[in-house]
A and B are shown apart, each in its own frame.
Chain A
Amino acid sequence: MCGIAGRILNAPGKVGHDLVELMDAQRHRGADSTGFAIYTVPRETGYTLRGMGFDKSSMDGDLASFTHVMRDHGSDFLSEPQITTDQNAHYCFRMEISDPTDLTAWVKDADTLTDRIEIQSCGRSLEIIKDIGSATDVADKHGVRDMIGTHGLGHARLATESSVLPNASHPFWARPFSDVAIVHNGQITDYFTWREKLERRGYRFLTGNDSELIAVWVSDQIKAGLSMSQALRKSITSIDGVFTYMIARPDGIGFAKDRFAMKPLVVIDKNGDLAVATEEQAVRRVFAGEEDVINHDGPSLMGIWGVGNRSLAA
């Protein structure tokens, strides 16, 4: 059991604050790790990176290797990297970098370092913050409540199929495509079959979390040229298991549900000012009072909510 949430604002605002509220209301659904994908006001050039190194005692060496690979690809820091540490062995980073010559090629090379340090999001606007601990723990540590943006996702993890590790929490980035994130509630039962197939196509898996499969699978669909709605629809018959998942992009948030109608999704949509979550009590944290809710309870459902002018992000 996990809890997922999404939030879309009509104009840039305190999306971080609202996502923390949505996840705090669902903390009982998964207490071991929490994560957020925040779409901040997009930058014109350059990327914001979020990521993690696994041993803070080797931080200097890891960052030197990381910087070396980045410079090899024609990119450099636009500001001093920000590092967050606590009593745990891992450390988290936020970096602003100039455009690499070829984003895909650079991510591929940077991913050779993932036994020590990994990029967890890369975007003009996307920032993924994830860690072990509750919604409020993660929010306090990383200043999520103060993050300004247009939309985003949240996730509370109850690990059922793999270990509790800081990098195994959601959201997952659909590497190497900038600004694409997913969160998932459920279990993927054909994980190993798919993983083997996708690894043969050259994709890397950085965790043992079955939900990471959805992000990698989505990357493969983007590469094949599918639109968000085509990928969502295809996933319902392609991926086996129990799932309600959401994909976020700069222009919208989409969701898909499995054929068995196992995991709920509840929405309050006030003309584009939208909150979506696993549980109704969570969306009521954002919209106090008895707003009308939409329950996406049926089997094999999908949909997309656009950001901004509400045109469908097909």
Chain B
Amino acid sequence: MSEVIIDVSQRHIREINQDMQAAAKAGDRMRVTNTLSRHNLGIGLPPGADLHFEGSVGYFCGGLNTGATINIERNAGWALGEGMSDGMITVGGYCGMSCGAAMMGGTIHIKGDAGPRVGAAMKGGNIVVEGKIGYQSGFMAHSGRIIALGGAGESCADALWEGEVWVAGPVESVGVDVNTVEPSAEEVAEVDAILAPLGLVDTSRDWRKMISGQRLWYFESRDANAWLMI
């Protein structure tokens, strides 16, 4: 497997993405340079593709990923890995709003903090954040796990549908219709199995697992106030 350099600079995004698809088809590893925090880099990459982004990327990087391994040296903008179904995305720094929005599978690993609404409407897969997750994390997530090792901002797990938000560290406040439960030893082992390949297992963690209170699953007029809080 050889490595090819893909230069971003001011080139048209479609041209850059076509170069990436061609390199993936040829089985080449990619090093992406001069990213300039531009949007829509590496969309719809196939299984087996292997990319390293030097520097920071803009919005929607790695969206619709079907199995590529993507490594971003510094920060990512909004909606990283939106709608991805498989693969692995690693961010070295901060990740902006709605990371992993509507993702269905695969793993996103953020080494810094994450912005608001991590995993909004996610339907599967795992998001691991070494730092703190922002406002309204897991907003209306249907399935999958969000795991934060450095605490959570306000309105954590807001209006969660059926996914899980796991937090080690302080939680500023929990969102609407959330139950905070004590995880069983088996469940902690499942989460540790996700963290193990990332080298992040620490048995001394005091986990808080947040799941849906299921009150918002059905509308009842006596719950109108809870709906209005969303």
Interface of B is mostly: loop
Partner pick for A297 among B56, B58, B59, B116, CB 8 A cutoff: B116
Contact with A along B29-62 (1 / 0, CB 8 A): 0000000111100000000000000011011000
B74 near A290 with CB under 8 A, answer: yes
Instruction: List the B side residues contacting A297 at CB < 8 Å.
Output: 96-97, 115-116, 134-135
A261 touching B116 in the complex, CB below 8 Å, given contacts A280-B77, A298-B153: yes
The residue of chain A having its C-beta at the shortest distance from the C-beta of B153 within the complex is A298
Is residue A50 within 8 Å, beta carbon to beta carbon, of the partner chain?
no
On chain B, which size bracket covers the interface? 20 to 34
Cα of A69 to Cα of B187 in the assembled complex, Å: 77
Within 8 A of A (CB), among B57-100: 58-59, 74-75, 77-78, 94, 96-97
A295 touching B96 in the complex, CB below 8 Å, given contacts A261-B134, A280-B58, A281-B58: yes
Cα of A293 to Cα of B115 in the assembled complex, Å: 14
Is residue A299 within 8 Å, beta carbon to beta carbon, of the partner chain?
yes
B134 near A279 with CB under 8 A, answer: no
A261 touching B136 in the complex, CB below 8 Å, given contacts A281-B38, A298-B153: yes
Contact with B along A279-292 (1 / 0, CB 8 A): 11100100000100
How many whole Å from B213's CB to the nearest CB in chain A?
A: 21
A279 touching B58 in the complex, CB below 8 Å, given contacts A261-B134, A264-B97, A298-B153: yes
How many whole Å from B193's CB to the nearest CB in chain A?
A: 31
A-contacting residues of B (Cβ < 8 Å)?
36-39, 55-56, 58-59, 74-75, 77-78, 94, 96-97, 115-117, 134-136, 153-154
B-contacting residues of A (Cβ < 8 Å)?
261, 264, 279-281, 284, 290, 293, 295, 297-299
- Given contact pairs A264-B115, A281-B39, a sample of 10 additional A-B residue pairs in the complex whose CB atoms are under 8 Å apart: A261-B97, A261-B136, A279-B59, A280-B75, A280-B77, A290-B74, A297-B96, A297-B115, A297-B135, A299-B116
Can you spell out 21 A-B residue pairs with CB atoms less than 8 angstroms apart? A261-B97, A264-B97, A279-B37, A279-B59, A279-B77, A280-B56, A280-B75, A281-B37, A281-B58, A284-B36, A290-B74, A293-B75, A297-B96, A297-B97, A297-B115, A297-B135, A298-B116, A298-B153, A299-B116, A299-B135, A299-B154
